[in-house]
Amino acid sequence: MWAGENQPTTRRVYAFGKLFGVGLYAIYQQRGEEFVPDYKQLLSSTGEAPAAELAARLGIDIRSKGFWADSLAVIGKHIDRYCEL
């Protein structure tokens, strides 16, 4: 186990990354294959700027509640599916 894994900051970073990635997946579900070039552009520019700025380059506002609500909706669907098993 990684030593920093139990630190609150590390957990927040992991949670942000998970929800950010799932939010991008939600956009992919909405836009389909046309989103793939934008997604690849975002991946290639990782580390150049904060996540909000990188997403804004693609017209994605991660400061909006809607982005995060869509992310959580995807996770909610997975939970519902699990509960049905």
The full set of domain ranges for the chain reads 7-84
pLDDT for residue 9: 78
- Residue 1 above 70 pLDDT? no
Confidence class for position 11, pLDDT limits 50, 70, 90:
confident
The answer, as to whether pTM is greater than 0.75, is: yes
CA distance 72 to 78: 10
pLDDT tens-digit profile of 15-73?
999 999 999 999 999 999 999 999 999 999 999 999 999 999 999 999 999 999 999 99
